[in-house]
Structures are given as C-alpha cells and as structure tokens.
A and B are shown apart, each in its own frame.
Chain A
Amino acid sequence: MPTVSVGRDRLFAALGRSYTQEEFEDLCFKFGIELDDVTTEKAIIRKEKHLEEEEPSEDEEVIYKIEVPANRYDLLCLEGLSQALRIFAGLDPIPTYTVATISKESMLKMHVKPETSQIRPYVVCAVLRGVTFDETRYNSFIDLQDRLHQNICRRRTLVAIGTHDLDTIEGPFTYEALAPKDIKFTPLKQTRNFSADELMEFYKKDLKLKKFLHIIEGSPVYPVIYDQKRTVLSLPPIINGAHSAITLKTKNVFIECTATDLTKANIVLNTMVTMFSMYCERKFEVEPVEVTYTDGRSYVSPDLSFYQMEVPLSYLTKLIGVSLPAHESACLLNKMQLHAKHSISEKNEASFTISVPPTRSDILHLCDVAEDVAIAYGYNEIPKITFPSVKPQLLNKFSDLIREEIATVGYTEVLTWILCSSKEISTMLNRAEDKTAVINGNPRSADFEVVRTTLMPGILKTVGHNKDHPKPIKIFEVGDVVQLDEKKDVGASNYRKLAALHCGSTSGFELIHGLVDRIMEVMGTPFVSPGDKTGYYIESSNEPEYLKGRQAHIIFKGEKIGTFGIVHPQVLHNFDIPDPCSFVEIDIEKFL
C-alpha cells in the first residue's frame, strides 16, 4: 500500500481540529487508512545518515506517514486526504469540479503526430489558471506527481506527467516522436543543451532518473512535446525542459500526461487537476485542452464528468446486511463523496442515482458503492449473522490429542472392559474394599460385579494374557472410571483417566517416570521444585498396589493427579504376571 507523508499540524489545520494520536488512529481505522509511522523530517534524515543517537529537538515538525488504499489516488496528497476526511466527517460538501466553458477556437490545442503510436501513443492535457503556490503547496504538487508515478503510473511506464509554466510557452503544442539525435533541448536542472541520445547517456549516472531510461531506450524514436516556437516542453517519460519549469511564482500551469494506457492517463490527469484546482482563482475550475490526431480523431481533456450509476436501496442493504432508510443511505453515500439522488422505481422500489466524481476512479461497480456505504455506516456496527456450526466435545477431543502423543512415544493402545470383579479393584491390588465403586445388582458372572474405579486391573489382565508377547510390553489406555458421587443426580460420575504400563525383564520404572515427564511436556507444564504450584513435581508415595520406595505421586499445580511406580510383586502374582511392571495412572480432566 502506498504511504503518504504529511505534516501533522498542517493536516490538523486542514481538518479544522487537532486530534490525539489515538483519536486520529481511530479515525484512520474507520475510514480505511492507517497511521503507519509518526516521525519528523529531521529524524528521517538522521536515520538515513545513521545519526540516530542525536537528540531530537522540540521544534521539529511532526510528520504522519499514512498508508492509503492502492486504488485511492485521490488520497495521495495532503489536499485530497484532508478533503476526504472533512467530507467523511460531514464538514464539507462534495466539491463540484467544473471544466471552464471556452469556445473550441480559444481552447489550447495539443496535436498528436502519428509517429507517437510507435512508442507512447496517448496524451491528455489540462490547464490550471490563477494558481497560488506557496512552498508547502508547491512541494505537495511535486510530491503528488512522484507518488502517482510510483503507483498508478507503474514507474512512468504507463503514464508520465509533465507540468509547465504556461506563461513561458505558447500553444498550440505538438506531441511528436522523433529520432533521438533530432531532439535538442536544455533539460530541467541543467544549463546546457543536450541531444536526446546524449541525454540518455548522461542520465545513466543519475540515480533518480536512470531507472526510467529503459522505457524508451532502444526505440528509433523518442516521444517529445513542443510548443509553437519549437521549445521542448518535455521528453516523456524521462525529463521536462528547463525552459518551462514551474516555480513558486507560476500562475498558470499546463499539465500533460503521456501514456500507453489512456484510461490511466485520464485518471492521473484528473487526480492532478482536481487536487490542485482548489488553489485556482476559480476554485475547482479547470481549463480544457483539445487533443487532435492527424487522422482526424480529437477529444477534449480533462473529462471531469460524473459517472452515473443506478443503485437500488435493497442492493445496498442486502449486501451490507443492515436495513437503512433511504435518507440515511444518502447521507452515508455523501460522506464517501458520492452524490445520491433518491428516486422510486416503477416497481415502487427505493433507488438512487449515484454520481461518482472524477476523483473516485476506484468505483467500478455497485459493489464499490456498497462498500463505501458500509464504511460510512461503520464495519464494526454491522450486526453479525451467524451460521449454524458445531462445537467439539472438549474432553473427548482432548483425550484424542493425548492418545496420539502417548502412541507416538511407543505405547500401544488397549481398550479394556469397564466392568470387572470387585476383588480386581481391591484385594488383588493389595487394597481394602473400594467403597467408592458402583456395584452391579445382577451380574451374570463375577467378572461383571463392579464398575472399574481404576484402569489398573484391565491393563494388568491384558499383560497377564499376553505373556508370550515379546518384551518389553508398552501399553496404555485412556478411558473412564466411575465412582460414587453424591452431587450427581444418579449418585455416580465418570472420570477420565490415562494409564500406561511397561513390562519387561526390568520394571522400566525410569521409563514410566520419563513417560510422566513427556505427558507433562506435551501439556506444556514445567517441572518445578516441590511445593511450587506453577508446574508439576514428583513426591514419593506409599500406596499398597506399588512396591515400597519405588512409587510416587504426581503433583500438578499443587494437586495430586496421579501415581506411578513398580507394581507390587504380590499384585503381579495376583494377575499371573511373571515379569516386573511399572504403571502410571493419571486423572487427565485436571489438564482441562
């Protein structure tokens, strides 16, 4: 996106009030531009010269660097920017630009020679009469040309602008294409005469101009504009002549835009004249120039006519998603510099005739008008309309993510039964009777007496039945256990647990400990010192199903969430497991 640098104080003066930076940023945000940087001219120079350590002085003029949309050429200078914001704020009406009424005979003329079609076929021109320049306006006038050249003109390939002091030259003018050696003139900032081919060589050393030479270099003819006395106005798109250079004292400005793209030439010319006609004696009035071709074609430029569009109100409200009364829509359109004439169609539908001013070349379609209305209405004021969508079941999705992580570090998932015998959750685990268990009233066999309160028996039974499986056996399960819960309507609740086991010629206690660390790592939990509640630590424990001295609690954010250890040999014996095992069980709901 192009960036425009404007003096803050001058901008605020033009806007008729001052803003805090925050207020101004907010205004920019709503309008669709962005305050990119706040700096000073001296700071920019310091930065260029790498003198950043130098202290800035108080009196430096603050410069706002403002990013503007790439299709809004009318915002590329202080004049256009402040005008757009004033209209947006409702301070100013939309200016009406007019082309001065002059008879064809007294109109300035630019005659285009057919040779130009070989290199740069189009030219459009205009005159600004009675302009009052001061240093600021003059600089802005030059800067706007630079920015247009950089952006829409695509570094002068599509369009090049020449501006001249009309009082130093005399029409009619001719736009020609001649052999380089036949073009001779004194270019801007030079004191001697050059031929065009000489000049091309000369500018190869010019940092600013050398990047434009390729546009015409190698062509047998170069484009050139002469006045009646054969004074060279310019050698587009490279340089203007020194003779017609504009100064602070210039009153009447002749503008010519030569181009390979006529549409863009007109946009560029319109941008130049609309922005600076505000400094003309007759404000917003531009004097036309007739462009004639040898083959008889001719047109008058600039074309400042309004582009008319018919917009049904319903189109705007449907596209934006708000209902707007017609008068309100018209106000919103006006804020964006679009004239709107309200009418009722034959079908009794409200409609607008929109007049797009010549400054708004970005408006191509009704959708552009709709966007402007939406901006003026406020993007963030548009009510949201939601689509039906579904949300995931947090616990289950989360369990799936953990399951994948455990599997990727080499543990195989097992899926065991919820139901088991009561001794499998008590005596077989060296534990007393589990008073928290849900008891089945009519089990068909002892295998279905209770609902598991731990994943341990299922996992141990799996190992007991896989004695022939090559060691080590590394398995895990993520599943629910059920425990009595007075707070629940039915008196019992599910709890999501994770269990893993290592079985081999050694118990693999350190491996299960490592798995605990890994689980904590993928939970993004740091390992902390005992007592610290910001992460997890391990604290030795004394649970009957584990071997004494080889077991520990896992403390997560100050809360015990699980235990791991070497399974007690008596428990292993109870489940008919001949090999040592280490086991971990964690309450994963605590991670949510």
Chain B
Amino acid sequence: MNLKSSNSSFSAESIQKQGNGFLGVEWGTYIKAFFGGNAFVAMFVLALITLFLFKEGVGFFPQYRKDMELYRASGQEFVGLLKTELDDYDELQQQLGKVQVSILTDLYAEGKEWEEVTALTAPFQASLDQTSSAADPLRQVVKKAIDITSEAKEAVVVNNTRREITGVDLTTLMNEEQSAAFLKSSREQIIAMMPEIEAANDMFLENLLAAQEAMPELNLSPDAKKEMLIYEKGLKTFLDSMTKFDDKLAKYDPEKPFTFLQTLGGFLFGSQWTTNSSWQDFYGIWPLLSGSLLVTLVALSFAIPFGVFAAVYVNQVASSSEQNIIKPYIEFISAIPSVVIGFFGVAIFGTFIRTLSEQDFLAWVPFFPISERLNAYTAGCLLALMAVPTIFTLAEDALNNVPKAFTEASEAMGATRWQTIWRIQIPSSLSGIISAVLLGFGRVIGETMVVLLCAGNQIAVPELSKGLGIVFEPVHTMTGIIAQEMGEVVPGSIHYRALFCVGIFLFFLSLLINYIAQAIVRRYKISAG
C-alpha cells in the first residue's frame, strides 16, 4: 500500500509558496486587514461622530447671534421687556385665582348653596375683576407694539430666506441695507410710542394700587390665608420690579450690537428654552442643565450610599452564601431595559410617591403634598436604581483589590472590623470608589429614556426658593430634550443646531468629570504596593 501521497516528497517545488489567495494577495494579508480594519473603523467612526457633532453644533452660534440681532433691531427685545412684565402679572393673577378657589372650596365644604356662595363672595369677585383689568391699558399698547415688531421681523426673515434660496439679489427683495432700514423704521415706530407706553404703564400702576385699596376685608381659612400670603409677597416684588422697569426701559439701546460673548452667555446661562414660538425662540441651556443636575443629584445621593455600602457589606461582612445571592441580584438590575424602569416609574412609582405625600402622617414635611407625579425625584430614584449596579460592582472590585495583608495587619493591631473597613479598606480603595462614583455619574447624566418618561418634561429652571422641595419639581433634561426634539427639527435650522450644541455641552461635561476624577485620584492616590 502506498502510504505516501505523491506530493509529499520534499522538493523545491513543494515548499514553494502556493498561490493561495485572491488577486495575487495572500489570505493572511486579508485576515490581518480585516482585524486591523475593524479597529480602524471603530476609531474612524468615533472621530467622524465627534467631527459631525462639532460641525453641526458650532454653526449654532453665528446663527443664534444673527437671530438675536434681528430680535434687537426690530425692537422686539424692547417690547419683550413689557411683555415679560405682563406675563409676570398674569402669573400673579393666577395666584389670586388660587385664593379664590380656596375660599370657594371652604364655603362649599360648609354646605352652603351656590346662590349663597355667590352672594358672599361678590365683593371679592368684584375686586378680582378690577385687579385683572388693571393691566388692560398696557395690554392694548403692548399688543400694538408686538404686532408692529413681529410683522417687521417676520418680513425680514422671509425676505432673507428667499434671498438665500434663490441666491440672487432679486430686485423685488430687500438687500441688507434696505432690510436694516426697514427694521429701523419698525423700531422707531416703537420709540415714537414711548409716551403712550409710559402713560399706560403709569395707569396700570395706578389701577393696581386702587384695586388693592378696594380689596374687601376677608375672613380667610388657614389654607386660603397661606395662598393669600404668597400672593401678597408676589405683589410686593412685582411692584418693586415695576419701579425698576422704568429704569430698564430708559436704559434700553436698540442700536447696541449683539456680541458673540452675549450669544455664548445667552446659550450657557439663558434661563429660557423656547422653541417654535410665534414671538422669538430662545435657546438657553440652563433650564435643561439644571434639570439634569438636579436629577443626577437625587440619583447619586441614593446610589452612592447604596452602592458603596452594599459593596462594603458584600465584600467585608457577608458570608459566602449571602454573597452568592446579593451579587448576582444587584448585577441583574443592570439587565433591566431602561424603558421598563421608566415605565415602572410612570405607572407605579410616581403615583406611589404622590399618594404617599398626601398622607396625613407626612403632613409635617414642608413641601408635601406634591402636585406633580412625574418630577426630578421620581426620575432620580429610578436612575439611582440604574446607577447602583455600576457603583456597586466597581466599588466591590476596588475593595477586593485591597491587599489582604493590610487587613491582617490592621486586625493584628487590635482594630475592630469596622475600624479596619473605615481606616484601611475604604481609604486604600478610595481611588477605585471615586472612579466608580464618577462612572455612576456618567451613567446617570447620559441616561435618556427614564428622564424622558419620568422627569415631567417641564422646561423651567427649578426655583431654589422652594428649598428641598425643589426635587419635586418637574424638570426637563439635556438628554431628554435631544431625544424629544431631534426628530421634529428641520436639519440645518437653528433649533437643530442648538440641539447639537446641547450634545457638545454634554460631551464637554463628561470630559470635565473625567478630568476631575483623574485629578482627585492623582491627588489622593494610595498605591496598594
């Protein structure tokens, strides 16, 4: 039997490279290219994303600046001041409305009939009407001013868009100079209205004070009194700001250029995020940023103690059978899809917290009962749930990495287990624990689904004056706003670019957190030699 196959004999030919390959290139080269290519693609995509983010985002600033310049040049900014005054006044009226509701509720609770109630509250109702109509003269003037300026701006915007689209200076369209002149005429119209405005404003003040005088002496229940006090406080600040208003109006200079720094400041510190408004869009990140930070704060204030203490317990105290239960359990939490957690928050947890806050035995808590089911607290609690596994796992690793020799030495010195944990284990693993916490922070601030579902999505800067109750305010977040609005915006529009800028801001925030983390770790580094 021939055991040797014919080509197994050693010859120059047999050891020559076989022509195995494709297009004259060996397979090995392809394989190498494949693996290298994957790494390259990953890096390339990352670079592309970063580049794209910046390319789309940076264009926001010149565009926003132009927009704000138009806002100023048309005189809208000036009218805006008046508009704010009226908006503030409306808010004040709403507070008075709450007083009314409170009074009515009390009366009906006493078992009185509708007619009797109407008769009883007639004087208050009258003064209510008087207060609300106090602003009417100013409202009329402002409405006129709004119409003039809005129309002028609208015309210029449409004109500019058409010029951009056609790309030619059609004679039917205004050029830059012409539109500037056009805006100026609108502005001047407003300035010409100045005496009229001032007179209206004075009358408003007069009416308001008169209405205040005419307010009947009321016999209020404690609840109603509380609302009334809020109203009176609000009225006082309003009257104060009204006197300052005159100064503001006098100082206003429509010719002042809108600088780039102002644009940047308007984005970073602007307290309004208003889009698709018939008046003027504002892109201030502050309400979103403060919302994100508030939610994160709530989440971390739960997740850090839970995560770290659970890690200490599992690592130091638990028996191995306890470890075998607790560890997989906590790690399992991270397997729950965030939408499910969000759904749980909407359907169960939010309602639960609100119902809890309405219980009588919790009435002593100053900000209870809460009015909104979905708020920063609800979202924060659920995000804490998501951050705990991250913090727990990493902190546990860090504790595990503390050499056993340290523990032994400490116990041999006569330290109790808790002293050893507190003085040796935790300090030795501090850098690991800090990085665990920061990764938890990153997890929370970048999380979208839960905040979108549970944070209440109200674009407003939470009011610090509420004290700790601030955490029960509905908020909107940076991630939430991107997810919510990105689908609807026109690519290339200023709104679209503003969302990208929010993305860039998130990007820089993560960078900053990372940097701080490393700095802290370097500063407190305890090498476990």
Q: Do A and B come from one complex?
A: no
Q: Which residues of B contact A (CB under 8 A)?
A: none
Q: Which residues of A contact B (CB under 8 A)?
A: none
